[in-house]
A and B are shown apart, each in its own frame.
Chain A
Amino acid sequence: MSDSKPIIELRHVDKSFGPFQALTDINFSVRPGERVVVCGPSGSGKSTMIRCINQLETHDAGSITVDGIELGDDTSDIRAVRQEVGMVFQQFNLFPHLTVLENLTIGPIRVRKMGKAAAEALARNYLERVHIPEQADKYPSQLSGGQQQRVAIARSLCMEPRIMLFDEPTSALDPEMIGEVLEVMVELANTGMTMVCVTHEMGFARRVADTMVFMEGGRIVEVAPPEEFFTNPKSNRARMFLDQILEH
């Protein structure tokens, strides 16, 4: 797999918010089917980096290429990439005025121009995959946090993306609900989906990651396979970070 062309490639990417330099010279690529876990202390630029991949944040310098499309000012290019790149957010961001089923079908119907019946069949299939087929007609506010996040994952999958981005998907969840979301993510990883996950769930990282990326201060400090990263991190800062988060 190592010889295949990268599906995501960031070269010399810089990004700042006013005077704050959020990303500095980010170089990073992901191969098709690769599962990448990005970790690092808060404020290290992890979220900003993955949000640049689908251009929820625009980069100031450098280049980002996703699935052969270089992201620039062309909004139709950006939309084309977004259809191939699903994203799951920390706060779920379900559409509260739509039922679960409508949350799932609105993308296929409005963006992919799919028929309603086909979209609903697709949606029910993915609800099955995230283990909540019985919740289709409820509104998001009637679901638990874990269920909402699984709906959000299914909503992204309904666009049949080639890449899934996860931005701290379990950070807003009550502890007892983290497992059900991670389980869905592991199952997704087993299907061969290309995944980039920002998460502090190191158990998940050990189970599914092909590559660990450690960031600090807006830079990528270390990129390593998980067994190496967890047992023998090269950088001091990664070691300190791991000590802190694996302590408990």
Chain B
Amino acid sequence: MAGVALRKRVMRGLSSRPASIAIYLFVMWGLIELALTGAEAMGYNWQWYRIPKYFLTSDADGITLGEIPWGLAGTITLSTLAFGLALAIGLLVALLRLSDLIVGRAVARGFLEIVRNMPLLVLLYVFYYVFGPIFGLDRYAASVLCLAVFHGALISEIFRGGINAVARGQWEAAKSIGMTTAQIYRYIILPQSIKFMLPPMTGEVVNMIKSSAIVSVIAVVELTTVGRNIISDTYLSFEIWFTIAAVYMAVTLVISSLASYLERRYTVRE
């Protein structure tokens, strides 16, 4: 008994905020220390001073953006385009799956299973090397479509879950005043499903940004491609990959905190 009480107290102590921060700092310090000693053992020559110019350079003409911000802009543009398209695909697939059409349900189901069970890299090769020549897609279009299809399939499940989470009585009330199915979705169901969809949807935005890195294999310009290019010029692999990772993290953390702000706003309003 005493053992249980003690364990509870220890657990409670460990989950307090100052303790959490201390543990976090300790773990991070350990990881960094490990990387540094490892690099030292390899005789790695750190050259962090060469990194800032890939962000910004200033000279007589003023400030010039380096390659990393351009790469980031590429990542954000690519992800935004692909996410917009993925939302449309996801909604369409979800509505088909929830429809009364047997063919529609089968098509949606087939699409979902094919996409979900294929590695993203393979899907990218299919879009670039197979659909590319057939439909005349350049590498950028192939990348956007590939990401949109891949995430569209996942997003369709988020939509489906969100739509199903709205109480059945809402459908009945809306039907009983004579609304069409389209009106019911638009005015009654979708506005209410937003609060159910927001958390998983944020996860998808973050995933999209991270998985957009894969298009570097077909040399579409974005953050990871930029990193690879810089490394092939400079051999600064440790510094650059740490930097690129930090940039990805910064972006996704901003998105997550934005989303939790939105979430709070949506839940307050009911």
Q: List CB contacts (< 8 Å) of B177-225 with chain A.
A: 177-180, 183, 187-188, 191-192
Q: List CB contacts (< 8 Å) of A124-141 with chain B.
A: 139, 141
Chain A hits for B269, CB < 8 A: 97, 139
Chain A hits for B172, CB < 8 A: 56, 87, 89, 93
Chain B hits for A41, CB < 8 A: none
Q: Tell me if B169 is interfacial: C-beta within 8 Å of chain A.
A: yes
| Binary flags per residue of B68-112, CB closer than 8 Å to A gives 1, else 0 | 000000000000000000000000000000000000000000000
Q: Tell me if B32 is interfacial: C-beta within 8 Å of chain A.
A: no
Q: Tell me if B175 is interfacial: C-beta within 8 Å of chain A.
A: yes
| Distance in Å: Cβ of B176 to nearest Cβ of chain A | 4
Complexed CA–CA distance, A82 and B187 (Å): 18
CB atoms of A95 and B178 under 8 A apart: no
| Binary flags per residue of B154-184, CB closer than 8 Å to A gives 1, else 0 | 0000000000000101101111111110010
CB atoms of B192 and A54 under 8 A apart: no
CB atoms of B177 and A159 under 8 A apart: yes
A interface residues, how many (CB within 8 angstroms): 26
Scoring B172, B173, B177, B180 by chain A CB atoms within 10 A of each residue's CB, the highest score goes to: B177
Q: Tell me if B59 is interfacial: C-beta within 8 Å of chain A.
A: no
Q: Tell me if A16 is interfacial: C-beta within 8 Å of chain B.
A: no
Given contacts A91-B169, A95-B170, A106-B187, contact A79 B180 (CB under 8 A): yes
CB atoms of A94 and B192 under 8 A apart: no
CB atoms of A155 and B177 under 8 A apart: yes
CB atoms of A87 and B176 under 8 A apart: yes
Given contacts A93-B169, A95-B170, A97-B270, contact A107 B192 (CB under 8 A): no
Q: Tell me if A86 is interfacial: C-beta within 8 Å of chain B.
A: yes
Q: List CB contacts (< 8 Å) of A68-98 with chain B.
A: 79-80, 82-83, 85-87, 89, 91, 93-97
Known contacts A79-B179, A111-B178, A159-B178; 8 additional CB pairs below 8 A are A56-B176, A83-B177, A93-B167, A95-B170, A106-B187, A111-B179, A139-B270, A141-B270
Q: List 30 A-B contacts (CB under 8 A).
A: A54-B175, A54-B176, A79-B179, A80-B178, A83-B177, A86-B176, A86-B177, A87-B176, A93-B167, A93-B169, A94-B173, A95-B173, A95-B174, A95-B192, A97-B191, A97-B192, A97-B270, A106-B177, A106-B187, A107-B178, A107-B179, A110-B179, A110-B183, A111-B178, A111-B179, A139-B269, A139-B270, A152-B173, A156-B177, A159-B178
B interface residues, Cβ below 8 angstroms from A? 167, 169-170, 172-180, 183, 187-188, 191-192, 269-270
Top 4 closest A-B pairs, CB basis?
A: A93-B173, A107-B177, A93-B169, A83-B178
